[in-house]
Structure 1
Amino acid sequence: MKKNILLLLFGLFLTKTFAQDYFPVNESVHNKNNNYTAFINASIYVTPTQKIEKGTFLIQDGKVIAVGNNVKIPKNAITINLEGKTIYPSFIDIYTSFGIEKPRKNLTPGREELSYDTKKTGHYWNESILSELNGYETFKYDQPKAEELLKAGFGVVGTHIHDGVAQGTGLLVALNNTDGKNQIISNKITNHFSFNRSALTNQAYPSSLMGSMALLRQMYFDLDWYKKGNSDTKDLSLEALNANEKLIQIFASEDKLNSLRASKIAKEFGLNYILKGSGNEFERIEEIKNTNSKFIIPINFPEAYDVSNPYLSNQIELADMRFWNQAPTNLKVLSDNGILFALTTDKLKKTEDFRTNLLKAIKYGFDKTKALEALTTVPAVLLGKSNEIGSLKTGSFANFIITSGEIFDEKTILYENWVQGNKYVINDVNLKDIRGNYNLTIGNETLKWKIDGTAEAPKSEIITSDAKKVKNTFSVSKNWISLLIKSNDTIKSNFSRLTGFVENTNNFFGKAELYNGNQVNWTAVKTATFVAVKDTVKPEKPNPIIPTTFPNVAFGNTEKLTAQTLLFKNATVWTNEKDGILTEADVLIKNGKIVSIGKNLTDASATIIDAKGKHLTSGIIDEHSHIAISKGVNEIGHNSTAEVTIEDVVNSEDINIYRDLAGGVTISQLLHGSANPIGGRSAIVKWKWGQSPDEMLYKNQPKFIKFALGENVKQSNWGNINPTRFPQTRMGVEQVFTDYFQRAREYDESWKKFNTNPKKEKAPRVDLELQTLAEILNKKRFITCHSYVESEILMLMNVADKFNFNVNTFTHILEGYKVADKMKEHGVGASTFSDWWAYKFEVNDAIPFNGPIMHNEGLVVAYNSDDAEMSRRLNQEAAKAVKYGNIPEEEAWKFVTLNPAKLLHIDDKVGSIKVGKDADLVLWSDNPLSVYAKAEKTIIEGVVYYDIEKDLEKQEAITRERNQLIGQMLQEKNKGMSTQDPTKKEKKEYHCDTLEQY
């Protein structure tokens, strides 16, 4: 008995002492062990591709001293036998917020609380540029979070403040829970950026994605100017950017299209961003590959939707269902395309999900060696720290994981994670496997005891001599057994408590305290060895993967489309040229161009299209559209935002593109909204469905910018608040134009003076806003102006005359009929609505005869949509010119084709059917001005982007795909997997006056 008690006490003492190693200790009273530690007989992965069998791994003072098969072990070394075990380098996550408090977002301010200038002195003018911040200054080691990461296999993390456009520097931290002095490996190692405004500022700018991009560009221009000594004042933000230029630059793009946007900025300024992606890179893998960027990739795969309710499941977009199915393939696709990337735990709900998701990605084809590289050598290379972390080479930190076997095997156990030579226990590596059958003798009573389950989590079954099961609770910790037996079912409190230590798995013993208080000895003698039941269940196959389309949404193309040689036979051709409307005519298109128009045309290489009884026209051109724009149509942060451009934020995934094609629209001008007098630059796009945003941009497009007049810019419609931004009145709007053009004139003159004599003159600061306005003064950029009231229309033409330029287009222009003669004299065109009126006060005088009256005055008149729904039926809008103004059909059709092409200065390439022009054509089932006409084919540069017959096939394919995905998701739920509730995504359709904060 004394022996057992002493053994029990000694075991408890060992357990207590052993546990203390996992908590911070006071160095003044702790003697650090400087001895060598040698791990022998292990399989050792020095790197993901260098493996040593039956090797020796020697460490001292937190560093790797030697590794190999012939390592000489010093006499004073502690030797640990790891036969049957494997050693791997600990993982590295270079993108976390570990130990840094999350910035607390301000409550969404009323716009009366927005500020338009900064109150900070000595810093950059915009409070989302926080480059002067250093993560290490606010860092506080987070032990609970460290333990989560250690259990997942991580030994080192990069961390920084996740706030702002320029976020400051990050540090590199060892997850060393024992030695607080050595936790920070590097105070400054990374410099961080994003497209997100700071959560801690009420400064209005930037309020949009395009605003954030413009801010970044201006910041880099300012940095270059500042570095050259041109500033008379010190700017701490620019000083920090300059000082940190040689650090690793990490950009949190958080989306595939944003990755393309960030890489564009990097290319412009000669930068080398590592892009922190989002997991959807596979959807644009060709463009992602062409960025030549390195990536940090999260693996926060979405859960399946709960589709058991058919009504609710109908609300889920196909793209979201498809992404659930395809997301686990992202790592394989990136790897197969030779893209270098590291992995991160960022965006995971729980750190423990990291291993689960990674194993899922491996099941979907991601190579195991590549997976290990993405967690070890790759992040080390990205950080320039390969000599210290990421491998077990001599001289590296002793950061390693001890496992039961191959690390990416589902059954492998992670035992220990050593960081800088300090051990963190995940599971007991010395745990004895006590599974088997035993005779359990407690005092004078013998029972049958069966222990199965797993070695780490064994299960207990006890049967009496008369074959009755005995209720029991069983646990093993550090080879100490605790067993609670229900001794009598009739008396609830009758329990016997057994404890003991396992030295020999064939025969172990301990002390029992019976329910009546008596103490007796107990023994367990093995009668049969545990035999694992052979797993006959076949490994579960991954869900069949839905093929990626271009774009990867409903109605996407199964492959990228190419130009065809097409011959339209016997069509009614609306040429929009002097030939007028041709009947029974043929049109041949080849290499994206119209090559021949006539009768009886032939071409052996052409696909023949029988167009008898059908109408062939040039594609519709929408001069004023707001579809396919990402994260804000208005940059509301300033009264002039000439520095922003819609070209930065074209959203090639918007389903409205496909809908426009179905309505015969081939080209649109995407305009900034009308929240400010001087808005942003526009983008002229061809709706090449399936192509990237840059491929949609009209090549060598003329430069345009959006101006605005009226209620919106003076904030009449901004809600029941007290706006603080200038201007508040119509006369204030005029003053904005005058002030900014005067500044632009002075800016332009300063550059001309400098360029004439750069050696004597001080270099002006590049100002993207004034640079753009100077282009207007130099007649290199055209104005499209949102307008309604005649007095304001006249006002802007007077301002233009004062500064010697012309307004190109008045859009909306619903009182244009009142001043058509003055517009003709000024030389401005009109892009209007056919019959919109009375939807706000300043359009009370609108009439449906407006367009025809301006046309008859000799103005170039177009009808535009300014609306996602109207843009799909602009052919019918053109017909209203016939209805209201008796405009000839051929001229009315030009309102949506040739005339907007003229307004956009692209009529030399598009807008009519003429040999040599782009093959942007639409085949209609009927007269295109008829309400019964349908666009049967919409062609851009010889590529058929919409085909009414293929559209029906796509609809059927979508139904089949949804049913397939619903079936897969139902299986997930039936297997007990976590699911998410179906939610309907409300997509905001942008209009001129849409206000939101990105």
Structure 2
Amino acid sequence: MRIFKLLIVLLTINLSFAQDYFPKNDGVKQTFKNVVAVTNATVYTSSTTRIDKATILIKDDKILEIGAQIAIPKEATIIDATGKTIYPSFIDLYTEFGIQKPQAKPRNSRSPQYDSERNGYYWNDHIRADFNASDNLNYDDKTAKDLREIGFGTVLSFNNDGIVAGTGLLWTLNDAENNGTRILNKKISQHFTFRKSSLSAQAYPSSLMGSMALIRQLYHDAKWYAAGGSKTKDGSLEAFNQNKNLLQIFTAGDKLNILRADKIGDEFGVNYIIKGSGNELERIEELKKTNATLLIPINFPDAYDVSDSFLAEQVVLSDMKFWNQAPYNLKVLAENNINFALTTADLKNPKDFLANLRKAVELGFPKEKAIASLTEIPAKIANQNNVGSLKKGNLANFIIVSGDIFETKSTIQENWVQGNRFVIEKIQPSDIRGKYDLTLDNVKYDLSIDGEVSKLEAKISQDKLEFGTKLTYNEPWITMVVKSKDTLASKFIRISGLKSETSLSGKAILENGKEVSWSAIKKTTTSEVKKEEKKDEKKTPVFYPVTFPNMAFGNSSKPKQETILFKNATVWTGEKDGILKETDVLIENGKIVKIGKNLPQKGKVIDATGKHLTAGIIDEHSHIAISNGVNESGQNSSAEVTIEDVVNSEDINIYRNLAGGVTSANLLHGSANPIGGRAAFIKLKWGYNPDEMLVPSAPKYIKFALGENVKQSNWGDNERLRFPQSRMGVEQVYEDYFSRALAYQKEWDAYKASSKGKTPPRFDIELETLSQILNKKRFITCHSYVQSEINMLMKVAEKYNFKIQTFTHILEGYKLADKMAKHGVGGSTFADWWAYKYEVNDAIPYNAALMNNVGVTVSINSDDAEMSRRLNQEAGKTLKYGGVTEEQAWNFVTLNPAKLLQVDDKVGSIKIGKDADVVLWSDNPLTIYAKAEKTVVDGIIFFDIDQENSKNELVQKERNELINLMLDAKNKGLKTQEPKKKSTGHYHCDTLGEKCRVFHAKYNN
């Protein structure tokens, strides 16, 4: 009895604290002057360390002590957190929280801006390293409250605007303090993006490859500036150099852009922390090799509303698959030991953060990794030891959760930031609702507890007799006052006790004053059993495996090299042996190893009887497989940019070209400027990554251009501002740049000859590239039409002692073919395109044959994603126009482009020792009836017509299954989004900006 009274006294004390503890309104803060003890909680001091029934002692903004056996000072305010779970408050290293964004000055002109408008700063306005987020703060109470409610206590804020966007700061979401107290690190990071600043209309860069080139040049300029190379002060370069030891955070986004950002980092010895987009699982092997630390958003897409079958057709398979796969991204990253932290970035509604996180955990993302990615890992990235974990001396940044934070029913009830307590919702006792078997004085009763958790209602019954009952619950204490059986008298049974993990129990005072024991054991009802059974029967979510690439017609795994024997084919060698009948070709280790009759069977044997085997088609002038811009049109020379940076391995046109017998392509910059960007020679390895498609040993090319495009004839009046604006101006551009390149080369030669104690000259990527041309280490393919301009450029080249390698388009080539032959330049032309603009009015379909007849190496190119998959037919047209032989016509799309690209020692014909890039055709490849049945690149079959039916069936099967899953999601009341028509376009020479011309394809990807 004495013990029981003591418990009642303790209860009274706890209740007195509880009155201080519960605020009248949610969302308020509470500051304690004395020491505060949060007791009886399950505390995760880190992602892997848990202390049960722990106490956290807090004074001011820090943790004094933490543990299960902590002596609580007498003056401490005690907060009982029994049944609650405590975690370190979360950290987000990628936000724009509280940043006061500068506003762009209004422009009165619609014409392009080519020069910088900032005096004393870098030549490009999109480099804004001098912007400091900490000088432009506007703490936002509402957004801070929203972030605290989902568990965040510390954020890194920056202004995400510009290719170099300036510095960020690390601060807490502490409304109670001023900026000086809540700022943990005033300058913690320097930020990069591939996007231009909204504060400037400067035209350069106008493409992704231009952004990459600008960043590279910036690194070179910063090094040169730091060495004292500049005579004038540059505010941007000064800031950039001062910030180089901060965290370097790169907003990449797309998985391929992560690889691109990492590539720049590797070049300059910078370990970027890279912000992704949530599709990293699609290129996980490549990302593993980067060893980069990532910041990952969890903005899972909503299901598409596909209830309308016509609208459903607009949703491409890749988007359907991503909806299914996105929630697994974190699991895949964790399984592959990639270091990453989570961010709220890209979420339309911050409240979706916890729901998405819980979904990821449900699908296999380990809880420990989830906690670490929000606490320890971001703290370690930020080199901030006083947040991200709970230990003596750390900031008192923690959240109090009603239970396991990954359980759907759990809620974040409080978020403490720097010792300041922010109440999100009133802490409720644990849920004791349910049906119980009550034993009171050895008599059995039924006890039912219902109602709201904060306002419980109890009923005690026996048979059909019900007793009036009033229940009070202050965890873990429970009291009930029960009206006795004697309805004529006001007699009551007083029940008091404690809640344990599995039951309720204690002492009761009967009507006659007798003290007895009681206990209540929770029942498992039939409905609960059924509910549990139903839960056990829950279907395992269907995960659609990633394909290579992760879209329609992707491969379940990367295709591998095989030993292949083509038997009894008509072999178009492209060599002096000509066309061989009933001949075998053996491929091993990616090479052609034997050609002959009746070769012994080995490896995969393909019966090619009645079929034609040729070398793979080579497209000398292609614009497929390029990301975010084919032209860097922001200035009249863009020799510093390279298509190699922006190869898009997931362009459906790669697969379509393979289906048309194309095995390699020279990806060219467009024709927006006289000196364009550098080219990329690729093999069409469908499903491989961009670097695996490039051919490193291939000679290097650059695109030049003549004619209407470079002088902006058809760009519109507002655009006609940039030099040159005439054909004679085009010539002057070449004279100016090659003169500069010579001077640049001489300056570097003089420095290398006697560099002791001298500051090196400025390294200029553009002039380095032009110097390579002068030194015959890079070769020109030039967009051209008009005879006079073609003559002009050959004369310029001869003046500077080099030659043009290829004139592409060259529709007036027949007028000066003799001069071309003398110069040694090849011609890559169209079979029969003409009259699509003024400067092609003199084009004739006999052009290819006439150039060929005087000794010019001629090829037929596409310049178009549609034509490129029919180049065999384009070659066939030359039989009609000019009377070339079948073998000559076929060489126009195989051996001759290989010669123009100087890779004819590797590809372009069927010859022992050459790369196994071959195509098996159903018929003579020059006819419109011929189909490419098997397309082989480096001994790997990338297209097989025998598999097309099954691939199409798989596309339809996956679409139908995913549509059903989306319909099921809608029926369950989950959010959906409207189907969106996703169209892809085709780049052409004159395409400006980052977007293609629109071309709709039902199953593009």
* Aligned: 1:948 with 2:932: no
Amino acid at match of 1:429: I
* Aligned: 1:254 with 2:257: no
Q: How big is the shift at 1:231?
A: 1.2
Q: Is the 8 Å Cα contact of residues 111 and 722 (structure 1) preserved in structure 2? A: no
The CA RMSD over aligned residues, in Å, is: 3.0
Whole-Å Cα distance in 2 between the matches of residues 805 and 304 of structure 1? 58
Q: Is the 8 Å Cα contact of residues 29 and 421 (structure 2) preserved in structure 1? A: no
Q: How big is the shift at 1:404?
A: 2.0
Whole-Å Cα distance in 2 between the matches of residues 936 and 971 of structure 1? 40
Q: Deviations over 1:271-303 (max 9, x none)?
A: 010111110000000000000101110000000
Q: Which residue of 2 aligns with 1:245?
A: 244
Q: Deviations over 1:385-408 (max 9, x none)?
A: 1x2110001111101111222121
Whole-Å Cα distance in 1 between the matches of residues 898 and 457 of structure 2? 78
Match of 1:584 among 582, 585, 589: 582
Matched residue SS, 1:391:
coil
Q: Deviations over 1:245-284 (max 9, x none)?
A: 1111111110100000000000000001011111000000
Whole-Å Cα distance in 1 between the matches of residues 75 and 792 of structure 2? 92
Matched residue SS, 2:50:
strand
Whole-Å Cα distance in 1 between the matches of residues 451 and 777 of structure 2? 78
Matched residue SS, 1:885:
coil
Whole-Å Cα distance in 2 between the matches of residues 105 and 977 of structure 1? 40
Indicate how the Cα distance of structure 1 residues 115 and 587 shifts in structure 2: closer, same or farther if over 3 A, else same: same
Match of 2:163 among 162, 165, 175: 165
Q: How does 1:290-689 map to 2 (within 5 A)?
A: 290-385=289-384, 387-430=385-428, 452=450, 454-455=452-453, 506=480, 534=528, 535-536=531-532, 537-538=534-535, 540-541=538-539, 543-604=541-602, 606-689=603-686
Q: How big is the shift at 1:774?
A: 0.8
Q: Which residue of 2 aligns with 1:929?
A: 926
Q: Which residue of 1 aligns with 2:69?
A: 70
Q: Is the 8 Å Cα contact of residues 112 and 723 (structure 1) preserved in structure 2? A: no
Matched residue SS, 2:986:
coil
Q: Which residue of 2 aligns with 1:780?
A: 777
Q: Which residue of 1 aligns with 2:966?
A: 969
Q: Is the 8 Å Cα contact of residues 43 and 84 (structure 1) preserved in structure 2? A: yes
* Aligned: 1:79 with 2:78: yes
* Aligned: 1:894 with 2:891: yes
Q: Which residue of 2 aligns with 1:838?
A: 835
Q: How big is the shift at 1:239?
A: 0.9
Q: Deviations over 1:117-148 (max 9, x none)?
A: 11211111111111111111111111101111
Taking only the aligned residue pairs, the percentage that are identical comes to 58
Q: Which residue of 2 aligns with 1:755?
A: 752
Q: Deviations over 1:352-377 (max 9, x none)?
A: 10000011111111111110110110
Whole-Å Cα distance in 1 between the matches of residues 109 and 680 of structure 2? 29
Amino acid at match of 2:339: L
Q: How big is the shift at 1:19?
A: 5.4
Whole-Å Cα distance in 1 between the matches of residues 205 and 450 of structure 2? 62
* Aligned: 1:707 with 2:707: no
Matched residue SS, 2:45:
strand
Q: Is the 8 Å Cα contact of residues 432 and 479 (structure 1) preserved in structure 2? A: no
Whole-Å Cα distance in 2 between the matches of residues 764 and 53 of structure 1? 65
Amino acid at match of 2:775: N
* Aligned: 1:907 with 2:904: yes
Amino acid at match of 2:687: G
Amino acid at match of 2:177: D
TM superposition score normalised by structure 1: 0.88
Q: Which residue of 2 aligns with 1:991?
A: 988
Q: Is the 8 Å Cα contact of residues 21 and 79 (structure 2) preserved in structure 1? A: no
Whole-Å Cα distance in 2 between the matches of residues 432 and 689 of structure 1? 56
Q: Is the 8 Å Cα contact of residues 174 and 420 (structure 2) preserved in structure 1? A: yes
Q: Which residue of 1 aligns with 2:859?
A: 862
Whole-Å Cα distance in 2 between the matches of residues 297 and 104 of structure 1? 29
Q: Which residue of 1 aligns with 2:120?
A: 122
Q: Deviations over 1:709-748 (max 9, x none)?
A: 0110110111353521111111111111111111111011
Q: How big is the shift at 1:532?
A: 9.4
Structure 1 unmatched ranges of 5 or more:
1-9, 26-31, 438-449, 462-477, 481-501, 509-522
Q: Is the 8 Å Cα contact of residues 543 and 968 (structure 1) preserved in structure 2? A: no
Q: How big is the shift at 1:455?
A: 2.0
* Aligned: 1:182 with 2:181: yes
Structure 2 unmatched ranges of 5 or more:
1-14, 436-447, 460-471, 483-491, 497-503, 505-519, 996-1005
Indicate how the Cα distance of structure 1 residues 568 and 401 shifts in structure 2: closer, same or farther if over 3 A, else same: same
Indicate how the Cα distance of structure 1 residues 165 and 459 shifts in structure 2: closer, same or farther if over 3 A, else same: farther
Q: Which residue of 2 aligns with 1:209?
A: 208
Q: Which residue of 2 aligns with 1:475?
A: none
Q: Is the 8 Å Cα contact of residues 112 and 719 (structure 2) preserved in structure 1? A: no
Match of 1:828 among 821, 825, 832: 825
Whole-Å Cα distance in 1 between the matches of residues 765 and 304 of structure 2? 46
Q: Which residue of 2 aligns with 1:468?
A: none
Q: Deviations over 1:429-457 (max 9, x none)?
A: 256979699xxxxxxxxxxxx99465269
User: What is the aligned residue count?
Assistant: 922
Q: Is the 8 Å Cα contact of residues 433 and 505 (structure 1) preserved in structure 2? A: no
Q: Which residue of 2 aligns with 1:737?
A: 734
Q: Deviations over 1:48-85 (max 9, x none)?
A: 11111122211111111111122222222112222222
Whole-Å Cα distance in 1 between the matches of residues 981 and 495 of structure 2? 60
Match of 2:978 among 942, 967, 981: 981
Indicate how the Cα distance of structure 1 residues 405 and 370 shifts in structure 2: closer, same or farther if over 3 A, else same: same
Match of 1:724 among 709, 715, 721: 721
Q: How big is the shift at 1:414?
A: 1.7
Q: Deviations over 1:926-959 (max 9, x none)?
A: 0110110000000011000000011221111111
Whole-Å Cα distance in 1 between the matches of residues 189 and 24 of structure 2? 35
Amino acid at match of 1:836: W
Q: Is the 8 Å Cα contact of residues 255 and 277 (structure 1) preserved in structure 2? A: yes
Matched residue SS, 1:721:
helix
Q: Deviations over 1:756-792 (max 9, x none)?
A: 1111654110000111011111111100000001011
Q: How big is the shift at 1:798?
A: 1.2
Indicate how the Cα distance of structure 1 residues 434 and 40 shifts in structure 2: closer, same or farther if over 3 A, else same: closer
Whole-Å Cα distance in 1 between the matches of residues 319 and 458 of structure 2? 45
Q: Is the 8 Å Cα contact of residues 128 and 201 (structure 1) preserved in structure 2? A: yes
Whole-Å Cα distance in 1 between the matches of residues 164 and 454 of structure 2? 47
Indicate how the Cα distance of structure 1 residues 899 and 71 shifts in structure 2: closer, same or farther if over 3 A, else same: same
TM superposition score normalised by structure 2: 0.88
Amino acid at match of 2:303: A
Whole-Å Cα distance in 2 between the matches of residues 966 and 120 of structure 1? 53
* Aligned: 1:883 with 2:849: no
Indicate how the Cα distance of structure 1 residues 997 and 352 shifts in structure 2: closer, same or farther if over 3 A, else same: same
Matched residue SS, 1:231:
coil
Q: Deviations over 1:646-668 (max 9, x none)?
A: 00000000000000000000010
Indicate how the Cα distance of structure 1 residues 531 and 453 shifts in structure 2: closer, same or farther if over 3 A, else same: farther
Whole-Å Cα distance in 1 between the matches of residues 254 and 781 of structure 2? 31
Whole-Å Cα distance in 1 between the matches of residues 398 and 982 of structure 2? 44
Indicate how the Cα distance of structure 1 residues 233 and 931 shifts in structure 2: closer, same or farther if over 3 A, else same: same
Indicate how the Cα distance of structure 1 residues 226 and 19 shifts in structure 2: closer, same or farther if over 3 A, else same: farther
Q: Is the 8 Å Cα contact of residues 620 and 901 (structure 2) preserved in structure 1? A: yes
